[in-house]
Amino acid sequence: MGRAAVFVFSLCALAASGWAFVQNGGHLHKGGSVALLAGREAVDFELQSAASQMLQAKATIGTYDHVQLSAFHNLAIARSDETSYCLQVGSGSAARHLQGPGGTPAPGPC
């Protein structure tokens, strides 16, 4: 008796999900969109994320010098010492930089 009840319940669940699939026009979900960052916004986000890593390193080792940011694409530590740093993405007229701590992304190289 128990197996028959599970079988009937499974068939009902399958029928209900098939009905819902047809009601949604054959789509599994309504979906949505995720805004992806591109261009300058992406570079600025990368600079700010790297600046956060620099602050964390300063709290851990006491200096901005000798910090490795290998997880960031195209980012270079142009200058770093005991009290400040400058992060840069790109080169030439396309470069953007962030002077830290406490700076904001700006156009141009360090």
pLDDT tens by residue, 47-103: 999 999 999 989 998 888 888 888 887 889 999 998 999 999 988 888 999 998 989
Q: Give CA–CA dist 74/90, Å, rounded.
A: 7
Q: Which amino acid is at 36?
A: L
Q: Give CA–CA dist 71/62, Å, rounded.
A: 21
Strands 75-80, 96-100: pairing is: unpaired
Q: What's the pLDDT score for residue 98?
A: 93
How sure is the predictor about 104, in pLDDT bands with cuts at 50, 70 and 90?
Answer: very high
* CB contact at 8 A, 73 and 80: no
Q: Is 19 helix (H, G, I), strand (E, B) or coil?
A: helix
Tokens of 97: 């930089």
